[in-house]
Amino acid sequence: MNSIERFYATVNREPVDRPAAWLGMPDIHAQPALFAHYGVKDFHELKLAVGDDFYAVEIPYQSPNSSAIYAAFDWYMDGNVDAEERTLTTPGCFAEAEEPEDLEFFEWPDPAKYIDVEECRRRVEMAPKDKVCLGVIWSAHFQDTCASFGMENALMNMIANPEIYEAVDAKIMEFYLKANEIFYEATKGRLNAVLIGNDMGSQRGLILSPDMVRRFIIPGCKKLVEQAHSYGLKVIYHSCGSIADVIPDLIEAGVDIIHPIQALAAGMEPKGLKEKYGDQVSFCGGVDTQDLLVNGSPEDVRLKVRELRSIFPTGLIISPSHEAILPDIPPQNIEALFDEAQKPGKTSLV
């Protein structure tokens, strides 16, 4: 099987020669050690060197304020959308908004002005033909809406003034649906899957109630999934943390793969997920980044991969439990993850 065949078999929970594996999107500070370990000079070479089944590409986005689509909105009105020093609770420009007219001053970016169609094509053409071309598009409408008010204000608005929350969310959804359409049209026939999502879990449970997730997040998820499916793309949906209580809703919304299995979050144990949902949806993740990959030995990592392979003979893309690998993860452990995932055939724990 090549990577693409292996991926589709995993999505359909059909037999695979070995599990598909995804490196994730290593944090920029983690990249130098990985480059050195694999003897490569850039991220493109790294993706090929690790033996990844995926080749991830981001939507090219270049506006006067931002060079990343996930930071497209100038919520702080200071032209500094990428600021690393900002917290999630920093009040955004809608912090005081109560009525729809309080949103009118904001200049919503037009994705058509800032997404270069040729650059979309160039990026996907970088992907080897036998690798799964994964569009990392996020479309994180919940997180953006939170940022626009400041997270605490946004969460309180969900209770006290849901209309204003939904008015902002609708505008953000409009932006992402248009941006995605540009990207999908430009890359037609070359993209296999997309990664979208919103962080809605904490270590011990959902940040907001399942009912609120159903009201404020799932409808947007459904629209994004429908759009991707209409282009024949599989959808990987991301949320950090414990999201076990809304997995049925994500399945209902049409999500193909749930990412990540954040192994140490409450209710996210791989075995339980396989038993409950293994015949309805596939997963990605499972190799813990909160302890194992940071503090464990390569042999510990191999053992975990063998365990995951035995729980999920198919239906799981082996991957770190958070896509942004941090610099405290030794590259040897990443190598062990891929090496063990790539061994052909069935895995036995003994």
Partner 1 sequence: MAAAIIEEISEFLQKGRAKNVKKLVEEALAQGIDAQEILNEGLLSGMMIVGGKFKRNEVFVPEVLVAARAMNAGVAILEPHLVAAGNEPMGKAVIGTVKGDLHDIGKNLVAMMMKAAGFEVYDLGVDVEAETFVEKAEEVGADVIGMSALLTTTMPNMQSVIDALNAKGVREKYIVMIGGAPVTESFKEQIGADYYTADATSAAEVAKAAVEAKKA
The answer to whether 89 contacts partner 1 (rule: CB under 8 A) is: yes
- Separation in Å, CA 343 to CA 34, 132, 137, 305, 332: 21, 19, 31, 10, 17
The answer to whether 203 contacts partner 1 (rule: CB under 8 A) is: yes
In this structure, is the dihedral angle defined by the CA atoms of residues 21, 307, 315 and 223, taken in order, positive or negative? negative
Between 186 and 213, name the residue whose CB sits nearer to partner 1: 213
Which SS3 state, helix, strand or coil, does residue 284 take?
Answer: strand
Report the residue from 156, 226, 229, 280 that binds partner 1 according to the rule CB under 8 A.
Answer: 156
**How many Å separate Cα 129 from the centre of its chain?**
22
Residue with tokens 């409009």: 174
**Alpha-carbon torsion angle 260, 262, 265, 268, nearest 10:** 70
What is the rounded CA–CA span in Å between residue 247 and residue 268? 10
What is the rounded CA–CA span in Å between residue 47 and residue 34? 10
What is the rounded CA–CA span in Å between residue 69 and residue 123? 15
Strands 54-58 and 257-261, by their bridges, are: unpaired
Using CB under 8 A, which residues numbered 317 to 346 contact partner 1? 326-328
Report the residue from 12, 62, 202, 310 that binds partner 1 according to the rule CB under 8 A.
Answer: 202
Using CB under 8 A, which residues numbered 279 to 298 contact partner 1? 289-291, 294
Least Å distance, CB 9 to partner 1, is: 33
- Separation in Å, CA 175 to CA 36, 68, 149: 39, 14, 17
The answer to whether 42 contacts partner 1 (rule: CB under 8 A) is: no
Least Å distance, CB 265 to partner 1, is: 8
The answer to whether 80 contacts partner 1 (rule: CB under 8 A) is: no
Nearest to 111 by CA among 75, 76, 145, 62: 62
The answer to whether 198 contacts partner 1 (rule: CB under 8 A) is: no
Least Å distance, CB 255 to partner 1, is: 22
Interface mask toward partner 1 for 116-155; x: CB under 8 A: -----------------------------------xx--x
Report the residue from 212, 225, 287, 318 that binds partner 1 according to the rule CB under 8 A.
Answer: 212
Between 7 and 165, name the residue whose CB sits nearer to partner 1: 165
Q: Are 320 and 293 contacting, i.e. CB atoms less than 8 angstroms apart?
A: yes
What is the rounded CA–CA span in Å between residue 223 and residue 66? 25
Report the residue from 159, 188, 299, 332 that binds partner 1 according to the rule CB under 8 A.
Answer: 159
Between 19 and 330, name the residue whose CB sits nearer to partner 1: 330
Least Å distance, CB 122 to partner 1, is: 33
Between 174 and 291, name the residue whose CB sits nearer to partner 1: 291
The answer to whether 206 contacts partner 1 (rule: CB under 8 A) is: yes
DSSP designation for 203: S
The answer to whether 95 contacts partner 1 (rule: CB under 8 A) is: no
The answer to whether 186 contacts partner 1 (rule: CB under 8 A) is: no
Q: Are 97 and 145 contacting, i.e. CB atoms less than 8 angstroms apart?
A: no
Tokens of 2: 């090549």
**Alpha-carbon torsion angle 234, 18, 319, 316, nearest 10:** 50
Segment interacting with partner 1 (CB under 8 A) among 54-62, 170-178, 197-205, 277-285: 197-205
Using CB under 8 A, which residues numbered 239 to 258 contact partner 1? 241
Contact residues for partner 1, defined by CB under 8 A: 84-89, 151-152, 155-156, 158-160, 202-209, 212, 241, 264, 289-291, 294, 326-328
